[in-house]
Structure 1
Amino acid sequence: MTPEGPQPSMTWLFFSPSGRIGRLPFFLSWLFWFLIGGFMVARMVANEGNETVLALWTLAFVVSSLVSLPSIAMLAIKRLHDIGYPGPLSLTLFIPVLSPVVFIALCLWPGDQGPNEFGARSDEPGP
């Protein structure tokens, strides 16, 4: 992390709670994880008759789920930072009744213009 803020990278985007991201990177990152999970489920369904291949795709699905859960939390933390809220509110994404509402709000709620207490947005130039 530099004085201007985090240097955008894929590792920072998916696995770091520091900094801020806008609506589009948040949505596209969620879409990425959704497509990965959907692909794994499609492969599992396509291989229902072959137990060995099904077991391998199921293992791949479990591993991708274990990787995507903390990543989704980190994305939500950065998105919450962008709108000026603290990161622990990201836990609301894991409450079944609230998660769709929170997800839609995070996709639609505009972020703070300019730097806030969490720094500058990753797509904004530093000072």
Structure 2
Amino acid sequence: MAEEGRQPSMTWLFFSPSGRIGRLPFLLSWLFWFAVGSIFLMQVIKNEGEDAALALWTLALIGSGVLSTVSIAMLAIKRLHDIGYPGPLALCLFIPVLSPIVFIALCLWPGAAGANEYGNRRNAPSRP
């Protein structure tokens, strides 16, 4: 997790399982990876007739798919930490029937106010 008083980095946000994130950063991060994948997929479709370009864009699509899968798992772990649940429950996002339900729950379920065993909540009002 980012040290107290320091701004978290993008590397921490996308690729670290420690700490907590709120609903908005979770949703915006998912949308970011969706947009990246969509751009690469459009390029694959656009270059169907050209073998070299198709191979390059397909490789980029596969690479972005691997990166986004790892990142989404890390984001889900941090989101679960914010709610107060352990990170391994993020595996539910990879079960086809549960995935949409878990995603919606993580987007809508408010995080625990104040500190919990996974860290402090950023921008939360302090309790006396």
Q: Same fold (TM over 0.5)?
A: yes
Code of the residue aligned with 1:80 in structure 2: it is L
Q: Deviations over 1:41-92 (max 9, x none)?
A: 1111111111110110000001111111111000000000000000000000
Aligned to 2:113: 113
* Contact 1:8 1:122 (8 Å CA) reproduced: no
Q: How many residues of Structure 1 are paired with residues of Structure 2 in the alignment?
A: 126
> For 2:61, what is the secondary structure of its paired residue?
helix
* Contact 1:24 1:107 (8 Å CA) reproduced: yes
CA distance in 1, matches of 2:5, 2:110: 20
The 5-angstrom pairing of residues 31-46 of structure 1 reads 31-46=31-46
CA distance in 2, matches of 1:98, 1:6: 36
Code of the residue aligned with 1:32 in structure 2: it is F
Alpha-carbon distance, 1:121 to partner: 2.1
* Contact 1:41 1:61 (8 Å CA) reproduced: yes
Aligned to 2:81: 81
**Identity %, equivalent residues:** 68
> For 1:49, what is the secondary structure of its paired residue?
coil
Q: Deviations over 1:95-118 (max 9, x none)?
A: 111101100000000000111111
* Contact 2:15 2:71 (8 Å CA) reproduced: yes
* Contact 1:37 1:65 (8 Å CA) reproduced: yes
> For 2:44, what is the secondary structure of its paired residue?
helix
Alpha-carbon distance, 1:19 to partner: 0.5
Aligned to 1:72: 72
CA distance in 2, matches of 1:47, 1:108: 38
Where do 5+ consecutive residues of structure 2 fail to align? none
Q: Which has the higher contact order (CA 8 A, sep 6+)?
A: 1
The 5-angstrom pairing of residues 1-127 of structure 1 reads 1-2=2-3, 4=4, 7-124=7-124
TM-score by length of 1: 0.92
The CA RMSD measured in Å over matched residues stands at: 1.9
Where do 5+ consecutive residues of structure 1 fail to align? none
TM-score by length of 2: 0.91
